[in-house]
Chains A and B, each alone.
Chain A
Amino acid sequence: MRNFIEISVGIIAAFIFNVILSRLFFSLALPFNFLSLVVIYFAMARGEILGACLGTFCGLIHDTFPLGVFGLSGLSKTITGFLAGYISRKIDVNPPLRSFIFISILIFIELILWIFLYSFVLSERLNIGSGWIFFQPLSTAFLGVFLFRFLRKFKISKP
């Protein structure tokens, strides 16, 4: 039950941050992939099966609003979630620098996969939003490192 609440809060918070950013300055929403951060965080904490399932769910949420095909983001986030859980079990990705590189690579893989699927399925070019989207791996990883450390410290300090 506690896991479910934590995951739900994470998803809703990510969703709300995305909405707020896109309303304030829509290009600012492109460099930050909040839903993927939720997927990666819980995949690292709970394993690859939860990561993949959460990736599917978060990806379907992400696909809800565009006029595109339902399932594109789902597929890319599913793979990201699985890889995050699987690799974090094999190597220690907790140190900040390793965590930064790890999250960057995962978000990069997700982005490439998503762009490829989008172009292949819809047969059209993606609007890259003046190039802001290509900052996504680094800026999301940067945010993720601080967020994950904060959340881990918060959990440790709780009695």
Chain B
Amino acid sequence: MPLFLKEKKSLIVLIALILFQLVLISLQAPLGQEQNYFGKAIFTIFSPIQHGTVSFVRNIGNLWRNYFYLHNVESHNQKLREEIFILQEENNLLQNALRRFKGEKEIQDNLQAIRENILVAQVIGLDASNYFKSLVIDKGSLDGLKKNMVVLDGKGHLVGRIIGPISLKEATVQLITDTESGISVFTEERVMGVLTGDARGRCSLKYIFATAIGISMGEEVVTSGLDGIFPSGIKVGKIISITESDPLFKGVKVQPHFDFRQLYQVAVVKIDSKDLF
């Protein structure tokens, strides 16, 4: 090797690595959502380690809870029994209401389809650069997960949807608080808009004309089902502020219902939105 190259070897290596990174970045920007094969490969290798670590930590926590906090178990069980009882009553009432419009067999088939297609998953990772963009769950393609499957919290509120990369036992969820997220929603007064995240834990309801009436503080926002991804009627959040700084559109802020700090478990709806009912 020529002497000058030997001396500058480290600089050549640095420049080569920087160029490699720049090419990698330029191939993806401004998309940023679809990862390339290299990214998927790294995700497939490292997400099981994350999964294993979280399981280990959770098991340690469970050990503590099970063996050192036994006096809380019975009261916790009692609360859960009461909650199950209320949910069962609610379920019966709803089924009764549904019987006015559908036959018994059709209702049972629909409910069976829902039971078979709701998958409970644990949250095992968060987006290191922005916690309100995405998270990683411990279910993947082996569990039947695919892109655009809807993700809900424990109370049925919208959390987001499955996006790539999906490995065998892990998947990434795009949160509704991500700026790249866009959901077609209705308010209670049937005012339609598009909900996007502001990357700070809240959402903005866009394309509400300044002249629109029937939109007020505290109003519930639900999915419209018109985007073909999210089924209609899923609660998303509440309107917390309305401003009129723009001459064309109102500035509407929505507080999502799901509590990010309590998001340890989510439900993935495996069925397509148009197949639900």
Contact = CB atoms under 8 A, between A and B. Distances in A.
Interface of A: 12, 15-16, 18-20, 22-24, 26, 29, 47-49, 52-53, 55-56, 59-72, 74-75, 78-79, 82, 85-86, 117-118, 121-127, 129
A52 B38 contact: no
Interface in B28-69: 28-30, 32-33, 35-36, 38-39, 42-43, 46-47, 49-50, 53-54, 57
Q: Is the interface of A mostly helix, strand, loop or mixed?
A: helix
Given A53-B13, A70-B24, A64 B43 contact: yes
B126 A26 contact: yes
Interface of B: 9-10, 13-14, 17-18, 20-22, 24-25, 28-30, 32-33, 35-36, 38-39, 42-43, 46-47, 49-50, 53-54, 57, 124-134, 136, 163, 172, 174, 178-180, 199-200
A118 to B, nearest CB: 7
Contact of B25 (A16, A19, A47, A71): A71
B130 A70 contact: no
Nearest to A63: B39
B49 A22 contact: no
A9 to B, nearest CB: 13
Contacts of B24: 70-71, 74
24 contacts: A19-B49, A22-B126, A22-B128, A48-B14, A52-B17, A59-B21, A62-B128, A64-B42, A64-B46, A65-B126, A67-B32, A69-B25, A70-B38, A71-B24, A74-B24, A75-B18, A117-B25, A121-B32, A122-B29, A122-B32, A123-B30, A124-B179, A125-B199, A127-B200
